[in-house]
Amino acid sequence: MTQKLTQNELYQQIRCVSHEIRNHLSICDMYSQIIRKNLEKSGIENPSIENALNCIQKSIQIIGTNLLDLKSLNSNNAQIVDFKNLITRAAELSKAYIVDKEIEYEIFVKNTDNIYIDENRFLACLVNIIKNGIEAIELRGNIQILAEVKDKTGIIKISNNGKPIQKDKQQEIFLQGFTTKKNGCGLGLAICKNFLNSQNADIRLVKSVKQQTTFEITVPVYSEN
Ligand SMILES: Nc1ncnc2c1ncn2[C@@H]1O[C@H](COP(=O)(O)OP(=O)(O)OP(=O)(O)O)[C@@H](O)[C@H]1O
Ligand SMILES: [Mg+2]
């Protein structure tokens, strides 16, 4: 049976769910810190565990940012961050979505500069785009990330060689709710475009043909005046 909620009841429910998510996030956060400390104490150096812990902690922060949105405290927390560093971290985070597939990454960042952006939200955007690429690949394929700073703009091209987007659907992919996936929400690209546009940045589909689907993100570099 479906029940209609009043607006107040809905807000109340959102607050309760956020609260519970936050509690469990802090448990994940605490235990990942404990694992890190124990590794250090035992003198164990394991880059793979180290990387996994970094990814877990970054994801926790990103979820935390989203929870603040639910509380309508969604002030953008922009800071000066290194363009190349963000790209490599996004690539690392996205690898968690590779399950039962063989996917090779090719990452080339020609040069770098500072950008002024909410790090968590920008990372979440990049991860969304790479995740779509991973999902388009059936079993085996490549994700290519090529980036450079040119004319005071950071340019990131994210490509994959999975199933392309139908020509007649290419206009619709940024619309909220457009999905071709059984379990998709059709939100990823719409959220990315909204956020990027609010930062004077942008995303577009460059092409989607049999061998390659490429998205391009452009973001202004930070300038002091
Ligand atoms: N790299 C890609 N390769 C092929 N199709 C893509 C790619 N990126 C997006 N698409 C198409 O665009 C649609 C919309 O993508 P979007 O990320 O907005 O939603 P979704 O992935 O379906 O669901 P979710 O809300 O979980 O992200 C996808 O369903 C898919 O059809
Ligand atoms: Mg998606």
Tell the residue nearest (CA) to atom 31 of ligand 1.
Answer: 180
- Residue-wise pLDDT tens digits, 67-126: 888 776 666 789 999 999 999 999 999 999 999 999 999 999 999 999 999 999 999 999
Predicted confidence at residue 65, as pLDDT, reads: 85
- Residue 159 near ligand 1, beta carbon < 6 Å: no
Encoded tokens for 42: 């035992």
- Residue 187 CA to ligand 2 centre (angstroms): 7
Whether pLDDT at 49 is above 60: yes
Write the CB contacts of 43 (distance below 8 Å, at least 6 apart in sequence). none
One-letter amino acid of 63? I
Write the CB contacts of 59 (distance below 8 Å, at least 6 apart in sequence). 93, 96
Predicted confidence at residue 13, as pLDDT, reads: 84
Whether pLDDT at 1 is above 80: no
Distance of alpha carbon 94 from alpha carbon 82, whole angstroms? 19
- Residue 124 CA to ligand 2 centre (angstroms): 11
Distance of alpha carbon 188 from alpha carbon 176, whole angstroms? 8
Predicted confidence at residue 72, as pLDDT, reads: 67
Residue 75 vs residue 53, higher pLDDT: 53
Ligand nearest to the CA of 184: 1
Q: What is the mean pLDDT of residues 163-182?
A: 96
Distance of alpha carbon 126 from alpha carbon 35, whole angstroms? 28
Predicted confidence at residue 4, as pLDDT, reads: 80
- Residue 175 near ligand 1, beta carbon < 6 Å: no
- Residue 165 CA to ligand 1 centre (angstroms): 9
- Residue-wise pLDDT tens digits, 203-212: 999 999 998 9
CB 81 within 8 A of CB 220: no
Q: pTM of whole model > 0.85?
A: yes
Report the chain's terminal Cα–Cα distance, integer Å: 58
Predicted confidence at residue 136, as pLDDT, reads: 98
CB 163 within 8 A of CB 173: no
